[in-house]
Structure 1
């Protein structure tokens, strides 16, 4: 008999017949004493032929080989056919008799795809079951909750029983996370790898599953990981208070993909002029991993309705973009009432960007914002004041291609759109063609150097074509718009050179030849029937050719004023760049014709048939102009406040200070005066570039008569000063914050045509109110409030001031004087507030004002925006769950002005 490891099977000890001598009697008595129990011995493997009993030795006996009779019953094979790994902090106890392995304190067990961690784990390898539960610490508190993980599914219960063979489990007070959902159930029964049944469960998106802000309580759940959750009677509970919101059953789709298709539940609202409504209801289509589609609609009981189609698409390393199409049929009041009105408005937005890495020789981009001029003022689903105050909508779609030729060449196709929302004028090119060939130096030497007048001579070739439309909002994309289209092409060949004069002067000369083709011209003549000059459009190809010549001379002058190294301001550096330009364009009078102005035929006028051409018209009079310009920059060297630094600090005093004017040698002194006004412009920054200041002024050397018309007499000779200031302006923009430069831009407002800051308020797109200032912030710790009030309150402020002076006709008045301010502040760690307002000192009234408040309710968000003044006054209140999966659980109440 030998003592073996605890994992070995049991056998009985059998002895050979004994001789009757004293030694054998004592020996048999000893073994009879201990032989009545069961001892551990080594398992005997089945042999094809057992060893003969007579040939056995005592050594073989000690190996525990039963030589009398072999066990013909095969041992039961356990189910655990894989490798089991386990460990525990206190002990790992093996009970071979009961087939149990007990692990205690920080116990871990690993078998195939199962990972189990708990305070205590008991493995019954005869029944192929494992049990895990909590243990008590020294204070009697239950700790070390089980953590059961199989494949990608994970659960944290109070206790669990799991059968490896059947894959079934019984779980008590389980806690599991599926995507954004946290699920806790009193009892969970695991049928197999793909199906769970839960009893007494709660579902929430709150972080703390044991003490959530809200949850959905249900008596029973069928749960298929990664696919769906189907519930019975489900009731919503907020702050442990049951609400009357209940459904007979619930369905929560689960998917490993980023998004799944589903219904978007509409919100209820009411309006004084349109009746009751259901808004922002529709369907989300997760078409593929590369693109999706959202279809939303609104309906009012007075007949108004709206449709919106929104799609985002992207392909990694190639392109990305989004498309928004919005249409609204608006009916105000009821038919028969004096305030009844009906109109259709729409808006189309498209943005597209291409990754340059996909093809460096070609690019494609799009930024489209077009539609009804009154869309942002009348829309029932937009409350964007910044977009309302903007008067221009613009679009651009472009494709550029570069050809690797010698010389290099490139081509671009663009479509542009400019729309004035006040006048409802639309100017569009569809398309515009631009082509060019790089500069060619025909006289460059063999060594490639380009020095001197001759070697620097170069020429280019440029071609431009347009299909031009100018129409009104009401005629947009209607037949008349296409009938009035103008088509033209212009070819340009510029020839230029540059060279040095006396080392310090840079000179240049250029001449340009242009040829312009058009498909429409005009013809003018007196109409006896109408009694006025009649202008007719002539369809057909026509062309005109022009050329001009220009030269320039400039230099750079540096000046430094030293005040001494012991001074705070050690030196000021002044850089001047004066330049003089002369340009000459001859008269192209041959393209002008005479026409009769009255019935007598004696009064005639001149016109060109290329009048109002898309590329302009040839000049009638020759142009002989010399221009003067002077640009200045001022920079200071100051002693650094840091005494450890030896080098002075450079500060920019004036980024630019520019003077521009010109003189026309062909001025007749009556209709055209020689000198043009002096234009002054400049700009600089202060306070570490946080304050931007720009200014400008117009100085006219000529006097005016009593009617305000400029006369050929200098102002100083008319009893005035050397120059007469006709206009001036200054603008200041100051942004400062105590939380860094990570202030978010109002990108949606900018895309709609408004500003990218919040001086005119933040954009409120009422079809998606889940955007939050808290969205990208990390989860806050419990002690953040204590830390918060021991430190500074985060805030940011933007100021904008504008002052305009006007004195064109001796009125000498301030035509504009306004101040705008926007302030945002983290009032508490969970409260954010903001205000945008302004004051017009000329009109003496408050300008646009908006109040903003937002509350972070952990898994919920609450927001309130209020615009109290003007025709666009409105308010909007929103509260809803942050999670995208449960975004339909919200309440939105608003009051939109009758626009």
Structure 2
């Protein structure tokens, strides 16, 4: 059959061709003669019969310009290329006008493709019938797969009419968006409309036994656009529920679509019943969207939020939101009645690094009412109420390539303390710089010596600084005391080698400050108070200084290897970097004035010096001469150990102590207390980098008097030790998981990213957001190693522990100022059950800190979440169960008890 395929195809094509011509020669009944007219009488229309003829396109058809026959021409059989194949055999029955394809059969005609175990083409009825086959084990295999355009149908069998393009599909499973339609009989009207009866719509993965489905009594399906249904209700494991609708509409578009966002409901004790997170979603275009959400409480409290996300590929992306809440407690007329408004503005913008390498714009904004996160009623902010700072930054920078390179930047910053409600802003900050210039360097080759390494730069910085409070924010009063100024600096430096092993650097810096406001002080003899007057106008001062430093690096190696022995520790390397520096800061007392304090007798009791620049944003000129020497010593310890991997050829290098630093200074120009306290700091990482340890301490060489004040007498000369420990701190964190990627996955969690946007931590030590309706809870499709059928030995888990302790003894208080332990973790009790907790314990005050318990149950196509804050003023709980799929995310149930917040 295979060798004669071409001959058979040619014979069949010839037969069809002859039959076609014979039909065209039928003689009609005699009618009135028709006058010839110049017009194309041959109609060329597409016939959908799938015939194994040679390829013939419409362009190859000759055009007859004279009407010679009153009988319309028959439709052409082929309008496109037909290809077909089968694994076992292809057979054509001339008498029955049928083509048979068996085993791995496939036929393609235009945009229609059918794959099945058995395909029969009936030319007399213009029908194609496809079905599966029974294998040797008696199982039904190779069920048909019908594809037309982007629509894919997988039925048990299909009957397709090539003329009308209608079809009857039996026991089909058709993907529609995120869901699947399962129907016993489907009527295909055309390539864009299907009709089904008693069908099932589900997003379950197990289509043979779905855990839930929506039964569609009658439905019309437009692939890629919509599903319109009559009576429909929810079934759970084939058990009907009373949840249903008289009619339904399921959008199936593959692009974003605008629509209503259904709210969740609940009750709060002092605000009544509420609706939250309801609103409307606007799919503006492919680059930007907008969601308008609102909350409403029956006592009159309400909240409005606008959230937008935008992105342009290879250029930038970002998101912005505005949140406003009007909060009412109790009822009007009661003594505990209170009303307030809070708001919050967030904006994040990032530019693609490849968009423009010479200019960059970025934004990270989080500002608003200081009490927003503490009083907000929306559960999405529950994990951020411990935030005590809000900060923002919007910047634009531009670099001009050349020699030398120049650049400038404009930045607006904002810092807000939510406890003191103080706000500091710069609107804006301008910075410009000219790259480093080597005036004496050779044009080619390396720079050598003190002269060739001389270099200078130019930097300018301008600021408009505003200090205000939460109550005056965005009001004209906040600009009243704004301070502006410019600072210019020109550093000149050089470096060279001394005695081969020492590196010496020397530098001098010229600094000039411009200001537009100065202060003038006088003593009022009548009120006996110092009066200050702000003088508006340009003024400036200039300073300079000199510094030099000498340093080197010393390497020490302790070898533990012995001949004939494979020791575990091969060697320990100690790196020491000592450094000594000297600094001179001249006195610029010419910028200082004085005023006389006159007592009641009219005599001068005191003369006070001040500088008119003391309130400037870039500081004031130095009044006293300073000549000081600085000493520093840094240490690093590394070890080479035997690698546990027996195939490794080199020892493994580990860090014993990442850094151990000591620093102090001596002021030659000081008349007392010339030595500065010794500051010690260090840090390391152990357990393969999973545990980080950082510590520090301050050691004071001077003693205290009976009033706990420092005196110019060494502590050892006062009967004490060489140094007096005045402060110390230790912080450590331990983050580990059953799988290496679990810790990274946790950092990339969208709820953690929400914490960062709110100004919080990059972990869940303070808990997670309780907004379970958010799409941040995405299903993880990664497949883990298959556990044993007898024992589930893989229990995924992750844990993060943070410990911090601070000691204070600057004035003999000898106390632990703070001592806390925080921890958070998640554990998968079973493949479908997970438990998480975030808590801490204050070891100083003996009490638990903010605690949150989280439970989650994976119900296949559904999810169930429960979070509980068992104690504190924010004691609350939240229960949620709903479908994971975004198309049916409004099919949910949520119940919660909110905290009773008092303003």
Q: Given the two structures, how large is their TM-score scaled by the length of structure 2?
A: 0.88
How far off is 1:299 after superposition?
A: 1.1
How far off is 1:137 after superposition?
A: 4.8
How far off is 1:501 after superposition?
A: 1.6
Q: Is the 8 A contact 2:395 2:410 kept in 1?
A: yes
Q: Helix, strand or coil for the counterpart of 2:548?
A: strand
Q: Helix, strand or coil for the counterpart of 1:209?
A: coil
Q: Helix, strand or coil for the counterpart of 2:756?
A: helix
Query: How well do the aligned residues superpose, as a CA RMSD in angstroms?
Result: 2.9
Inter-CA distance 613–6: structure 2 relative to 1 (3 Å threshold): closer
Q: 1:379 aligns with which of 373, 376, 381?
A: 376
Corresponding residue for residue 298 of structure 1: 295
- Structure 1 stretch displaced more, 701-710 or 784-793: 784-793
Corresponding residue for residue 412 of structure 1: 409
Q: Helix, strand or coil for the counterpart of 2:741?
A: coil
Q: Is the 8 A contact 2:787 2:794 kept in 1?
A: no
List aligned pairs for 1:264-303, cutoff 5 A.
264-303=261-300
How far off is 1:716 after superposition?
A: 0.5
Corresponding residue for residue 584 of structure 1: 584
After superposition, what is the alpha-carbon deviation per residue over 1:479-522, rounded to whole angstroms, capped at 9, x for unaligned?
01111211111111111111222112211111111111111122
How far off is 1:174 after superposition?
A: 2.4
Inter-CA distance 312–529: structure 2 relative to 1 (3 Å threshold): farther
Q: Helix, strand or coil for the counterpart of 1:377?
A: helix
Q: Is the 8 A contact 1:9 1:43 kept in 2?
A: no
Inter-CA distance 73–437: structure 2 relative to 1 (3 Å threshold): closer
After superposition, what is the alpha-carbon deviation per residue over 1:667-689, rounded to whole angstroms, capped at 9, x for unaligned?
222xxx21111000001111111
Q: Is the 8 A contact 1:441 1:456 kept in 2?
A: yes
Q: 2:236 aligns with which of 233, 238, 241?
A: 238
Q: Is the 8 A contact 2:524 2:530 kept in 1?
A: yes
Q: Is the 8 A contact 1:297 1:305 kept in 2?
A: yes
Q: 1:551 aligns with which of 525, 528, 548?
A: 548
CA distance in 1, matches of 2:490, 2:790: 67
How far off is 1:633 after superposition?
A: 0.8
Inter-CA distance 46–859: structure 2 relative to 1 (3 Å threshold): closer
Q: Helix, strand or coil for the counterpart of 2:452?
A: coil
How far off is 1:571 after superposition?
A: 2.7
Corresponding residue for residue 781 of structure 2: 777
Corresponding residue for residue 761 of structure 2: 755
How far off is 1:639 after superposition?
A: 3.4
Corresponding residue for residue 710 of structure 1: 710
Is residue 424 of structure 1 aligned with residue 430 of structure 2? Answer: no
Q: 2:176 aligns with which of 175, 178, 192?
A: 178
CA distance in 1, matches of 2:110, 2:736: 59
CA distance in 2, matches of 1:136, 1:644: 53
Corresponding residue for residue 764 of structure 1: 770
CA distance in 1, matches of 2:595, 2:402: 51
Corresponding residue for residue 248 of structure 2: 250
Inter-CA distance 99–338: structure 2 relative to 1 (3 Å threshold): same
How far off is 1:90 after superposition?
A: 5.1
**Gap regions ≥5 residues in structure 1:** 12-38, 50-71
After superposition, what is the alpha-carbon deviation per residue over 1:642-693, rounded to whole angstroms, capped at 9, x for unaligned?
4554543322211111001111122222xxx211110000011111111111
How far off is 1:814 after superposition?
A: 2.3
Q: Is the 8 A contact 2:626 2:670 kept in 1?
A: no
How far off is 1:412 after superposition?
A: 0.9
List aligned pairs for 1:90-489, cutoff 5 A.
91-137=89-135, 142-257=140-255, 259-382=256-379, 384=381, 386-447=383-444, 449-489=446-486
After superposition, what is the alpha-carbon deviation per residue over 1:121-164, rounded to whole angstroms, capped at 9, x for unaligned?
33211221122334445565544432211121111223322211
Matched residue count:
839
- Structure 1 stretch displaced more, 742-751 or 281-290: 742-751
- Structure 1 stretch displaced more, 721-730 or 745-754: 745-754
Inter-CA distance 506–386: structure 2 relative to 1 (3 Å threshold): farther
Corresponding residue for residue 67 of structure 1: none
Inter-CA distance 717–145: structure 2 relative to 1 (3 Å threshold): same
Q: Is the 8 A contact 2:517 2:535 kept in 1?
A: yes
After superposition, what is the alpha-carbon deviation per residue over 1:617-644, rounded to whole angstroms, capped at 9, x for unaligned?
1122122221111111112233334455
How far off is 1:188 after superposition?
A: 2.0
List aligned pairs for 1:692-841, cutoff 5 A.
692-743=692-743, 744-745=746-747, 746-765=752-771, 768-772=773-777, 775-778=779-782, 784=786, 786=788, 789-841=791-843
Is residue 640 of structure 1 aligned with residue 643 of structure 2? Answer: yes
Inter-CA distance 303–121: structure 2 relative to 1 (3 Å threshold): same
Inter-CA distance 529–305: structure 2 relative to 1 (3 Å threshold): farther
- Structure 1 stretch displaced more, 756-765 or 423-432: 756-765
CA distance in 2, matches of 1:155, 1:887: 25
Inter-CA distance 307–528: structure 2 relative to 1 (3 Å threshold): farther
CA distance in 1, matches of 2:622, 2:816: 38
How far off is 1:256 after superposition?
A: 2.9
How far off is 1:715 after superposition?
A: 0.4
Inter-CA distance 170–643: structure 2 relative to 1 (3 Å threshold): closer
Q: Is the 8 A contact 2:558 2:571 kept in 1?
A: yes
CA distance in 2, matches of 1:726, 1:128: 97
- Structure 1 stretch displaced more, 882-891 or 359-368: 882-891
How far off is 1:837 after superposition?
A: 2.1
CA distance in 2, matches of 1:75, 1:404: 74
How far off is 1:343 after superposition?
A: 1.3
How far off is 1:784 after superposition?
A: 4.7
Corresponding residue for residue 57 of structure 1: none
Q: Given the two structures, how large is their TM-score scaled by the length of structure 1?
A: 0.88
Could you say which structure has the larger radius of gyration? 1
Inter-CA distance 161–791: structure 2 relative to 1 (3 Å threshold): same
How far off is 1:296 after superposition?
A: 0.9
CA distance in 2, matches of 1:365, 1:701: 47
How far off is 1:101 after superposition?
A: 2.6
Q: 2:660 aligns with which of 651, 657, 675?
A: 657
